[in-house]
């Protein structure tokens, strides 16, 4: 017998209604499937953008969200290290399409212009194993480097290509600290943000295993977990253990909606980008060195990208 709720619908029907915007993606998880960048954009871009705009309306005052190209050209751009992990998480979760539940990186920074927030940046340890880097001859036991783990602009600054500014600053900071290399990956596919930065070279796509949750808006997992609790389909203790595991939440939602498929069937390949700093590295063939300082990175970005938007 199908158990009905107070709303006259079964629990399965309620969960299916909740998952409805994402069913085209979930249907593809019946068998192994590699999602292309175009496919992700078509299926989910509107939902993620809608969720982000809704979140920004609640979090920010209008006067904090207004910045002009003239301000960015002539204002004081600062890079400040964030000392509070909690503050960084709160800011990141307000600005990014994805949501972090744990401290994301070793060195978090807030980038501002005239005290207006324009971006967030973290430098972390290099990725454990990447085929493209291994082919370059970099050995993590012998060479030091950074991974630009988070590189996200605030929505009001993004139209001025501040993502390229943040990436340039990350490369400059790695050069200043005498690292051998700096690397990063896109959210999915080749990245517009890192495109045409001559010192940060595209090296191919990652394997993309286990990255399916990155293409969904973070609200899906938070609200989905709340829904499972309201329907008494998950205990409070189990909910706490799943709160940082988006894949587990998605798996439970699919189970109770009686959807066929496995979350591990989805592959989302990321673009891998590498900047070699140490000229003695085996694969060093770069014509362009990264900016040698934060100030040089800012000036490069202003002359190369911002001036066209004045």
pLDDT digits (tens, 9 = 90+) for 18-71: 999 888 889 999 998 888 877 777 766 655 556 555 655 555 666 666 889 999
Q: Which pLDDT does position 255 carry in this prediction?
A: 93
* Residue 158 located in a structural domain: yes
* Residue 28 located in a structural domain: no
Res 9 pLDDT > 90: no
- Two tokens at 5? 């709720």
- Two tokens at 19? 């998952």
Which residue range(s) make up the domain with 203? 61-208+268-309
Q: Which pLDDT does position 98 carry in this prediction?
A: 53
**Structural domains in the chain (count):** 1
Q: Which residue has the higher pLDDT, 142 or 193?
A: 193
Mean pLDDT across the chain, nearest whole number? 83
| Sheet bearing 201-205, strands edge to edge | 77-81, 107-113, 116-124, 145-153, 181-185, 271-276, 201-205
Q: Which pLDDT does position 52 carry in this prediction?
A: 58
Once rounded to an integer, what is the mean pLDDT over residues 119-123? 93
DSSP states of 34-95 as a string?
A: EPPHHHHHHHHHHHHHHHHHHHHHHH--GGGG---HHHHHHS-EEEEE---HHHHHHHHHHH
Asked whether the beta carbons of 100 and 242 are under 8 A apart, the reply is no
pLDDT digits (tens, 9 = 90+) for 194-209: 999 999 999 888 887 6
Q: Provide CB contacts within 8 A for 97, sequence distance 6+.
A: 48, 52, 187, 217, 218
Q: Which pLDDT does position 61 carry in this prediction?
A: 63
Q: Which pLDDT does position 1 carry in this prediction?
A: 36
Distance between CA atoms of residues 153 and 157, nearest Å? 6
* Residue 14 located in a structural domain: no
> CA torsion 27→33→39→40, rounded to 10°?
80
- pLDDT category, 119, cuts 50, 70, 90? very high
Share of the chain above pLDDT 90, in %: 37
The count of other CB atoms within 10 Å of the CB of residue 293 is 13
Q: Which residue has the higher pLDDT, 140 or 100?
A: 140
Question: What is the phi/psi pair of residue 267, to 5°?
Answer: -120, 130
Share of the chain above pLDDT 70, in %: 81
* Residue 97 located in a structural domain: yes
Asked whether the beta carbons of 47 and 217 are under 8 A apart, the reply is yes
Asked whether the beta carbons of 52 and 292 are under 8 A apart, the reply is no
Res 299 pLDDT > 60: yes
Q: Which of 72-76, 185-189, 241-245 has the lowest average pLDDT?
A: 241-245
* Residue 184 located in a structural domain: yes
Q: Which pLDDT does position 211 carry in this prediction?
A: 66
Q: Which residue has the higher pLDDT, 80 or 246?
A: 80
Q: Half-sphere exposure (CA, 13 Å, Cβ side) for 25?
A: 29
Q: Which residue has the tokens 């891998």?
A: 272
* Residue 245 located in a structural domain: no
* Residue 148 located in a structural domain: yes
pTM: 0.79
* Residue 248 located in a structural domain: no
- For residue 97, the domain's CATH number is 3.40.630.30
């Amino acid at each position: 017998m199908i158990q009905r709720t107070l709303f006259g619908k079964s629990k399965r029907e309620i969960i299916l209604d909740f998952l409805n915007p994402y069913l085209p993606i979930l249907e593809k998880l019946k068998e192994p499937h590699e999602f292309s960048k175009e496919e992700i954009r078509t299926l989910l871009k509107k939902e993620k953008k809608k969720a982000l705009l809704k979140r920004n309306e609640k979090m920010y005052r209008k006067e904090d969200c207004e910045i002009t190209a003239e301000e960015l050209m002539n204002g004081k751009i600062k890079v400040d290290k964030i000392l509070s992990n909690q503050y960084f998480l709160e800011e990141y979760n307000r600005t990014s399409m994805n949501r972090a539940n744990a401290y994301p990186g070793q060195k978090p920074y807030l980038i501002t212009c005239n005290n207006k927030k324009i971006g967030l940046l973290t430098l972390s340890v290099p990725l454990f194993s990447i085929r493209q880097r291994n082919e370059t001859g970099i050995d993590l036991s012998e060479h030091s480097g950074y991974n630009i783990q988070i590189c996200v602009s605030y929505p009001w600054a993004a139209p001025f290509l501040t993502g390229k500014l943040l990436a340039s600053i990350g490369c400059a900071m790695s050069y200043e600290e005498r690292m051998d290399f700096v690397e990063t990956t896109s959210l999915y596919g080749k990245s517009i943000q890192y495109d045409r930065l001559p010192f940060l070279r595209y090296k191919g796509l990652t394997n993309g295993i286990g990255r399916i949750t990155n293409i969904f808006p973070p609200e899906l997992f938070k609200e989905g977990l709340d829904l499972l609790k309201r329907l008494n389909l998950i205990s409070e203790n189990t909910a706490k253990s799943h709160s940082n595991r988006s894949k587990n939440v998605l798996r439970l939602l699919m189970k109770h909606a009686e959807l066929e498929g496995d979350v591990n069937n989805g592959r989302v390949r990321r673009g891998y980008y590498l900047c070699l700093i140490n000229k003695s590295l085996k694969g060093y063939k770069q014509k362009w060195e990264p900016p040698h300082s934060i100030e040089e990175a800012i000036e490069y970005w202003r002359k190369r990208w911002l001036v066209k938007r004045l």
